[in-house]
Amino acid sequence: MSQSDRIFIGGGGAEYGEPQNLILKYANRHGMIAGATGTGKTVTLQILAESFSSQGVPVFLSDVKGDLSGLAKSGSPEAKLHDAFMKRAATIKFDDYDYSDFPVTFWDMFGEQGHPVRTTVSEMGPLLLSRLMELTEAQEGVMNIAFRVADEQDMLLLDLKDLQAMLVWLGENSSEIALRYGSVSTASIGAIQRRLLVLENQGATQFFGEPALNLEDLMQTTPGGQGRINILAADKLMQSPRLYATFLLWMLSELFETLPEVGDPDKPKLVFFFDEAHLLFDDAPKALLNKVEQVARLIRSKGVGVYFVSQNPADIPEDILGQLGNRVQHALRAFTPKDQKALRMAADTFRTNPDFDTADAIKEVGVGEALVSTLEKKGMPSIVQRTLIRPPSSQLGPITSDERAAVIAQSPVAGLYEAALDRESAFEILSKRSAEAAEAAAKAEAEEERLEAKEKELKLARKFDGYTTKKTTRSTRSSRSDSLGTTLAKTMIKQLGTQSGQKMIRGILGGLFKGR
């Protein structure tokens, strides 16, 4: 069933004998895998990853439950489902079905189940960081100012302590900053610092730093021509769903920013599977939704296909859902009016098949069965078909921790990301400036104290010098005497000008003349 220009998904139509293929030329037009829990979405993701890898297309996917690590190990005839797989392969006429392992690179944001994944604060940018921390509009404005000032002053923002130090600097210089960028309130800075503390507690400290992930390491092929399957361990990461969603969106944004335009290649340069896609859109602000829509619309011209995996198509905004040309819809449950409405909307997105009612089929398909519609010639969607999904060639279920460790040790990127780097950045620069300022202040204070001590010493020297003391005393006494005499004279003159003063003069003069 293998062909160089397409991948085999399963058998559809009457008796499941009609092959359902995904043409590689249209694989970068994006897609969706949807269905309720337990209907087979994970296996569909696994067989698509296998097929892309076999055709030389690198894959990136997140492993939420840990089951997809089995891609690194071949399936086995001793496996419990061997007979069922062989029967299904015969039913859908998958004649060349066989077991095989695939080249896998394990990644882990926490560095526990794979190579560490890091990025810098600068590369993440203020928009995604604000989304990650659920900041208000005013707080997001402060974040933008912090990034702008750091850029103007050539201070790198690599890790969280760089950003924290930058925010402290903004608070200390808020009056000067306000003249150019607007007010920076201490309340907003304090709120951002508290959110950064929450991120630290969630393990984001390990995510922000260097060496940052080189996206080219996600797009490798083996010497034999197989595309490497990059698996992100997301079981622990899912405990911080906003961090998980922001990280994957950052990856898409970075791919969009760095990859060159290639138009419509014969096959994708990379296929990206976004599991638990609803986490990307839950409570997302309008600016972020616009960003996702822009990336989804334009990144296909960079040769990247994006496939959203979710329980319900209604989890994905309509503007983005309309761009997903390749669809695999597993069973949906419709127990409430809201569920029934969502089911009908999902059915309406498919090109109608006259042989069955699409809405009824979505409720009726069994485990491992799905409704499939892919893009055909000229990019038109095919008529929807009830399809029996092909069995996986790799192991169904997780590998052991020892097997995982062996795969990690043999990885082409082994040793490149394990040791963290901490070069000079905003934290070190501001710390150095603070230390220099403190040292200068200490020197100035010491000089001031020295001058004060010298002046005090000079005053004491004057006090105990004999000549100086005698001269000072006489001058003081003379000054006091002159001052006292002057004061009495002035008082006497004032009194003579009054009526009582004149009477006193007449009395004195009268007495003198009487005596004569």
The CB density around residue 27, as the number of other CB atoms within 10 Å, is 29
2 vs 337, more confident:
337
- What is the average pLDDT across 479-508? 50
Model pLDDT, residue 417: 95
Cα–Cα distances (Å) from 493 to 125, 482, 497, 501, in that order, read 86, 16, 7, 9
Residue 441 has pLDDT above 70, yes or no: yes
Q: What pLDDT shows up at residue 495?
A: 53
CB 387 within 8 Å of CB 11? yes
List pLDDT tens digits, range 266-312: 999 999 999 888 888 877 777 777 878 888 888 989 999 999 999 98
CB-based burial label for 323 (10 Å; 0-12, 13-18, 19+) = middle
What average pLDDT does the segment 38-59 reach?
A: 96
| pLDDT above 50 (res 514) | no
pLDDT tens digits for range 233-265: 998 888 888 788 888 888 888 888 889 998 889
Sequence-distant contacts of 121-127: CB under 8 A, at least 24 apart: 121/157, 121/158, 121/159, 121/160, 121/162, 121/163, 121/208, 122/147, 122/150, 122/156, 122/157, 122/158, 123/212, 123/250, 123/254, 124/208, 124/246, 124/250, 125/253, 127/287, 127/288, 127/291
- Selected residue with higher pLDDT from 506 and 178: 178
Q: What gap in Å lies between CA 307 and CA 284, rounded to an integer?
A: 19
Residue 206 — pLDDT band, cuts 50, 70, 90? confident
pLDDT, position 77:
95
Specify the pLDDT at position 104: 98
Are 17 and 5 in contact, with CB atoms under 8 Å apart? no
Band (pLDDT 50/70/90 cuts) for residue 512 is very low
pTM of the model: 0.82
- Of all residues in the chain, the percent with pLDDT exceeding 70 is 89
Query: For 452-479, what is the mean pLDDT?
Result: 62
Rounded-to-integer distance, Cα 61 and Cα 71, Å: 11
pLDDT of res. 466: 53
> For residues 210 and 119, what is the distance between their CA atoms, to the nearest angstrom?
7
Q: Does 516 score more than 80 pLDDT?
A: no
Beta bridge partners of 308: 32, 274
The two structure tokens encoding residue 249: 């969106």
Band of residue 377 on the pLDDT scale cut at 50, 70, 90: confident
275 vs 330: CA distance, rounded Å: 15
CA distances from 299 to 24, 261, 359, 386, 402 (A): 16, 9, 32, 30, 37
- Asked whether residue 485 carries a pLDDT value surpassing 70, the answer given is no
Confidence of residue 469 (pLDDT cuts 50, 70, 90): very low
Of 154-158, 380-384, 395-399, 500-504, the least confident: 500-504
Peptide bond into 211 cis (omega under 30): yes
Q: 408 or 66: which carries more pLDDT confidence?
A: 408
- C-alpha 143 chain-centroid distance: 13
Distances from the Cα of 188 to the Cα of 180, 199, 201, 239, 268, angstroms:
18, 17, 20, 27, 44
Residue 37: pLDDT over 70: yes
| Region 50-68 average pLDDT | 95
What is the per-residue pLDDT for 66?
A: 87
Mean pLDDT of 373-398: 94
Q: What is the pLDDT of residue 238?
A: 84
199: confidence class by pLDDT, cuts 50, 70, 90: confident
Residue 325, pLDDT > 50, answer yes
Where does residue 384 rank: exposed (0-12), middle (13-18), buried (19+ CB within 10 A)? buried
Provide the pLDDT for residue 463.
65
Contact 295, 257 (CB under 8 A): no
Q: How confident is the model at residue 439 (pLDDT cuts 50, 70, 90)?
A: confident
Give all strands of the β-sheet with 229-233 in edge-to-edge order: 18-23, 6-12, 385-389, 369-373, 326-329, 31-34, 304-310, 270-274, 59-63, 229-233, 104-108, 115-116
**Confidence label for 384 from pLDDT (cuts 50, 70 and 90):** very high
By CB atoms closer than 10 A (0-12, 13-18, 19+), residue 459 is: exposed
Name the token pair of 34. Answer: 């949807």
Most confident by average pLDDT, 10-24, 228-242, 423-437? 10-24
How large is the average pLDDT for residues 80-91? Answer: 96
